[in-house]
Structure 1
Amino acid sequence: MIPLPLARIAEITSGALAGMADPRAVVRGPVVVDSRAVEPGSLFVAVKGDRTDGHHFAAQAVADGAVAVLASRPVDVPAVIVADPLAALAALATAVCAGLPAATVIGVTGSAGKTTTKDLLARLTARIGPTVAPVESFNNEIGHPLTVLRADESTRYLVLELSARGVGHIADLARIAPPRIGVVLNVGTAHLGVFGGKEVTARAKGELVEALPADGVAVLNADDPLVVAMAGRTAARVTWYGRGAAAAVRAEGVTLDGRGRASFTLRTPSGAAPVRLRLHGEHAVENALAAAAAGYELGLPVTTIAEELSEAEPRSRWRMEVTDRPDGVTVINDAYNANPDSMRAAFGALAALAGGRRRFAVVAALRELGEESAALNEGVGRLAAGAGLEALFVVGPDAAPILTGAGAGGAGRTPRAGGGPAGDGAPPGAGVVHVADVAEAVAELSALLAPGDVVLVKGPRAAGLERVAAALLGGDRR
């Protein structure tokens, strides 16, 4: 963070100093909303949530080294009192970003793949200058300004992930850190119930390209018609990426190895180079292409882009983490979040990775799908029924549509223990088991697993299915 005295922070946020705060005391960062993350020189932002109130931790934050607290009421320690701490946080980030004229802001949005693309792109920009990018998925009205506030005078690239839960959200985030390059990945089924349809989702995602200046660049997915239509909403130059021949940056000759990792030729207007991804799942190709197109616009040689993409390992947890146990059981932990599109991608990765090995899956009902929830969750069940599973475990409430879809697809038999083919003349196919919680899923699945099996764990973040993967691997490796 750019060092700022409390007097300047109060001015930026229209706040008032309280609690004997020294106006000359300097905040050097980090700015945090979790009191456990306080370091000497921090500014602690007291956010009142549904389950806890940051104001209760103000004294501890200062005791641990925070210079002051950004608060909405007096807290008996040095503080800047503001009407709305989150609005003040945004104002502070806006001012800091405006004070970094040498930094190029790159925004990434889309219904799926934002975090992976952001991680890949941050790796590319780090080759040409100091880069700040979000931790995990810090992409909303809290995480976005916190990420911006990590930048300082040395920062040359801010690679930011922008999420939305409605029209206007991305526009608000873009005002905090105005982008010069905007990357739009796709318009899918995530949060359909929140947005009200894919067309509304497209309107919200397109706010990123609308925020670009005339001398900026919109990096758009040529394979998604709703993204293609965004070209008419921006004054910026457009560069296209995708699988088709019309894309300026494209993948040719995509193949998958036995671990579901893609290799392809990266083709750009100035040449081509081979890429061999270490990321699992064919859907990672689109994320790599998006990052490559943005990197190409920044002037990186295609050979450098290909080299970095080929060396990149997953940076953000619970996204296609593939781990082999000592007994040969392979666990695919893709439990960070889920929607119908990412479910299809995950089952595709399972098929590529498993080959002829026995396959299991642990899922939970998808959320925020609105009126289409039942139909889309039934589709998840049908997808699982056609995935060659030995058993499907559906965890938690609202499981009926998935169970219905799985049954309609020919599933519904009792899962079999042990390895190898079905016994007692039973026909091949998946057993479908509804379990109440994670513990029950772990217990029943563990009784069935045999050396060499493959397990996919995939569900919405609120379901907590990452705990299934952790338990199967003998504890949380992270």
Structure 2
Amino acid sequence: MKKTLKEIADWLGIDSGKYSDEVVTGISIDTRTLKKGDLFIPFHGEAVNGHKFVQQAFEKGAAAALWLKDEPNPPKDKPILFVDDSEIALQQMARKYRNEHKAKFIGVTGSNGKTSSKDILASMLEPFYKVQKTIGNFNNQLGLPITILSLDEDTEVAVLEMGMSGFGEIEFLSNLAKPHYAIITNIGEAHMQDLGSREGIAKAKFEIIKGLQSDGTLFFDGDEPLLQSLVAKTTNLNSRACGFSKDNDLFATTIETTDKGSQFTVSGEINGEFFIPVLGKHQVKNALNAMLLGRALGLTTEQIRTGLAQVKLTDMRMQLVSTENGPLFINDAYNAAPTSMKAAIQFVQATTIRDDKWLVLGDMLELGENEEQFHKQLSEVIDAKEISKVCLFGPRMKWLYEQLLNSFTKDDLVYTENDYDVIVQTINNYASNNSLILLKGSRGMKLETILKSFQ
């Protein structure tokens, strides 16, 4: 972005003052990451008043700053834009910049796999387009506007992740981004405590079509009945379904896993053999959405194959981590919900990468009143014939521990409420270079702490 202060002031419908020719080349809400030329946006939170850092922002090279009208003592002789509300101003600037931008905008939401889908799609497209994507978890009402305002003016494809915790949030983000294409990865159980049921979650995710361009297309998990029903009830919606059922527009079969990734066959709108350097059947489904979208953007089958072969995911998503003369870890510790937890467990049980298979599982959070049931139900997919040892971490995992007592011996089933060292010691004592260890839990459990002991 390269805008004069007058242009930004015009976006906001305010006076730019005497510094109207000052050029802004980015947005910052944190002086620790501020770059020269940024417009600094202070927020007045309960714990921190960002206005205290405005002077520091200028010292670090900020081109200008916003300032709340009711905040006293604004800096003198500095490029300041006075606004009523920093968040609304940020969103308004993003809305204006989005309307000017010529890129193809893609919105990605879902209970699980948003970040992986974003990464797969962006990586696949990067050899053929200038692509930018949501960085980290900048996927909410503050993060999405920052992502949009961070787009280069010559970006050709913008892949925007959209997160939520309640109704109305995806609708707001979709109307802000106005995507040409939208993806719903799946419907799981995350945010059950806020949305009440999987049906509620599906409706909240489906809000992504609210801002979809009139000639846009929705790509979705065609194996999910809740999404099938919502799509069927929506008139004049262009949609494409992918999954493992042959009823989908694109479906995958004969998925084979190596220590390098996943080989699979697809049929339907695209046909042939493909490879992604990513583990997990669920990641193959994420790749299918990317393939259909790539075709919609004009990629050939061979270009799609080339793009998928060099995919790279954000860390802690089915990430293989080797240790010297020791076990091989699958670090999937960024987040967890019942659907993704079961998928990861089933992958470990089916893979032939290593023979000695371990599960290190942490609590699943934000599941509401049914959290005990969801933890207990994991026992139904854990096969004692395939898994050598299970290590459980967190107060909620005690429910699963009690379910597994009859399936595993005392040495093969370990539970601790809050002590990583108990699991680290178990791995040190029993794991070998023939061991494959899955680390999977909600973000708050920080299971990657265990991995640090082996790196």
TM-score, normalised by the number of residues in structure 1 = 0.87
Distance 2:218 2:312 in 1: 26
Gaps of 5+ in 1: 416-429, 474-478
Give deviations 1:397-448, integer Å, cap 9, x for gaps: 34432322333x523x432xxxxxxxxxxxxxx3122142334543443343
Question: Following superposition of structure 1 onto structure 2, how do residues 16-35 of structure 1 map, counting pairs within 5 Å?
Answer: 22-29=19-26, 31-35=27-31
Aligned-pair distance for 1:51? 5.4
Distance 1:366 1:189 in 2: 10
Q: Name the structure 1 match of 2:89.
A: 88
Distance 1:222 1:111 in 2: 15
Question: Following superposition of structure 1 onto structure 2, how do residues 183-262 of structure 1 map, counting pairs within 5 Å?
Answer: 183-231=183-231, 232-233=233-234, 235-252=236-253, 254-259=254-259, 261-262=261-262
Distance 1:176 1:98 in 2: 9
Q: 1:57 to 1:440 in 2, by over 3 A?
A: farther
Q: Name the structure 2 match of 1:427.
A: none
Give deviations 1:193-249, integer Å, cap 9, x for gaps: 121111111111111123323311121222111111232335332222222222222
Query: Which residue type is aligned with residue 87 of structure 1?
Result: I
Give deviations 1:264-311, integer Å, cap 9, x for gaps: 223343x52320221011111100001111111112111211221122
Q: Are 1:462 and 2:444 counterparts?
A: yes
Q: Are 1:452 and 2:434 counterparts?
A: yes
Q: Is contact 2:9-2:81 (8 Å) kept? A: yes
Q: Is contact 1:210-1:234 (8 Å) kept? A: no
Q: Is contact 1:93-1:146 (8 Å) kept? A: yes
Q: Are 1:367 and 2:365 counterparts?
A: yes
Distance 1:405 1:81 in 2: 59
Q: Name the structure 1 match of 2:66.
A: 70
Aligned-pair distance for 1:472? 2.3
Distance 2:384 2:54 in 1: 53
Query: Which residue type is aligned with residue 333 of structure 2?
Result: A
Distance 1:260 1:129 in 2: 26
Distance 1:71 1:464 in 2: 37
Q: Is contact 1:334-1:457 (8 Å) kept? A: yes
Distance 1:5 1:368 in 2: 44
Structure 1 segments of 4+ aligned residues over 6 angstroms from their partners: none
Q: 1:12 to 1:189 in 2, by over 3 A?
A: same
Give deviations 1:113-155, integer Å, cap 9, x for gaps: 1111111212333344322211133211122111111223312
Q: Name the structure 2 match of 1:55.
A: 51
Q: 1:84 to 1:282 in 2, by over 3 A?
A: same
Q: Name the structure 2 match of 1:307.
A: 306
Q: Is contact 1:132-1:159 (8 Å) kept? A: yes
Question: Following superposition of structure 1 onto structure 2, how do residues 220-369 of structure 1 map, counting pairs within 5 Å?
Answer: 220-231=220-231, 232-233=233-234, 235-252=236-253, 254-259=254-259, 261-269=261-269, 271-314=270-313, 316-353=314-351, 357-369=355-367
Q: Which moved more, 1:231-240 or 1:285-294?
A: 231-240
Distance 1:44 1:9 in 2: 13
Distance 1:402 1:62 in 2: 53
Distance 2:447 2:354 in 1: 25
Q: 1:337 to 1:103 in 2, by over 3 A?
A: same
Q: Is contact 2:358-2:388 (8 Å) kept? A: yes
Q: How many residues matched?
A: 449
Q: 1:49 to 1:389 in 2, by over 3 A?
A: farther
Q: Is contact 1:185-1:227 (8 Å) kept? A: no
Give the share of equivalent positions with the same residue, in percent.
28
Query: Which residue type is aligned with residue 407 of structure 2?
Result: G
Q: Which moved more, 1:442-451 or 1:147-156?
A: 442-451
SS in 2 for 1:35: coil
Q: Which moved more, 1:73-82 or 1:104-113?
A: 73-82
Give deviations 1:443-463, integer Å, cap 9, x for gaps: 443343333222211111111
Q: 1:190 to 1:300 in 2, by over 3 A?
A: same
Q: Is contact 1:180-1:217 (8 Å) kept? A: yes
Distance 1:384 1:332 in 2: 17
Query: Which residue type is aligned with residue 341 of structure 1?
Result: T
Give deviations 1:309-339, integer Å, cap 9, x for gaps: 122132x111111011121410111011100
* Alignment match of 2:40 (pick from 41, 44, 50): 44
Q: 1:22 to 1:387 in 2, by over 3 A?
A: farther
Q: Is contact 1:260-1:281 (8 Å) kept? A: no
Aligned-pair distance for 1:391? 3.2
Q: Is contact 2:103-2:157 (8 Å) kept? A: yes
Q: 1:187 to 1:55 in 2, by over 3 A?
A: same
Query: Which residue type is aligned with residue 322 of structure 2?
Result: D
Distance 1:81 1:400 in 2: 53
Q: 1:14 to 1:432 in 2, by over 3 A?
A: farther
Q: 1:150 to 1:356 in 2, by over 3 A?
A: closer
TM-score, normalised by the number of residues in structure 2 = 0.91
Q: Name the structure 2 match of 1:150.
A: 150
Query: Which residue type is aligned with residue 64 of structure 1?
Result: K
SS in 2 for 1:37: coil
Distance 2:267 2:386 in 1: 35
Query: Which residue type is aligned with residue 61 of structure 1?
Result: A
Distance 1:283 1:265 in 2: 14
Q: Are 1:434 and 2:428 counterparts?
A: no
Distance 1:346 1:309 in 2: 21
Q: 1:440 to 1:69 in 2, by over 3 A?
A: farther
Distance 1:141 1:5 in 2: 25
Gaps of 5+ in 2: none
Distance 1:21 1:234 in 2: 52
Q: Name the structure 2 match of 1:376.
A: 374
Query: Which residue type is aligned with residue 145 of structure 2?
Result: P
Q: Is contact 2:354-2:436 (8 Å) kept? A: no
